[in-house]
Structure 1
Amino acid sequence: RHAFEYYRHGTLSLYAALDVKTGKVHAKTAAHHTSEEFVDFLEQVVARCQAQPEIHIILDNLSAHKTKKVAAFLEEHPQVKLHFTPTYSSWLNQVEIWFARVEREVISRGVFTSVKDLARKLMRYIQAYTKTARPFKWKYSDVTKRVKPC
């Protein structure tokens, strides 16, 4: 919910790659979530991970992730492997934990005078976060909620 004086200045797409071993995040903002922007982001990720023999990326099923441009990129970069989460299973992707943190610590608390201001504050937060990043302890510990074996 927003106060009556709330004014929406526009929208912004945030691309993020979480290194699950270190907790560090590489991110990019863009005006739109298109396959061109996505491929540009993938190129940035590949450039940062050149020493890696394989790069595994876990994604949601957004149509921009499944275009001919993305397929062409994957042909040129066989070390990149895309893995799509099942529909309604965002909790399987650890970067979603990080997105929830960004929502709590930046977006819901912030006052943004423009889309450019939002992008600047997001990137400033991400740079500060990455300096002290740690991997998420991702586990399911509530044994009372587990499905009983047959």
Structure 2
Amino acid sequence: MSALGCDSRFIARWSGRFLNERLAGMYARHPGRAPEQPPAKLEARVLNRTLKHKPSDGSTHWSSYILAAVLGDVSVSAVQRIWRKHGIKPQRLERHMVFNDPDFETKAADLIGLYLNPPAHAAVLRG
């Protein structure tokens, strides 16, 4: 009982229901608590943050764990469920990448030059 996190009264109640009603009695008598936010508002928050903001931790795209942590009151599974419902795959969203390397332009020109006019007897490998 301690492994399940319940006491003897709980076990006795459910055992009694099973003995009296069999499988038909194995349902919760209370529907549970109402969601803290309306589902539409929750979806709007997740979609807005996913599509209009970038992660502040420097990641290239959102993961369900990062987004759930940023929003605070949304579970990872809720984020995944909303993304799946709307067909969103954050790792495949097209975004403009910004490079902070001051020599990026020179390096890019050298690399493009190698592809356009490779030296004789040279192999161009990309990593």
Instruction: Select the structure of larger CA radius of gyration.
Output: 2
More helix by share: 2
TM-score bracket, shorter-length normalisation: under 0.3
Which of 1 and 2 has higher RCO (CA within 8 Å, sep 6+)? Answer: 1
Relative to the length of structure 1, the TM-score reads 0.22
More strand by share: 1
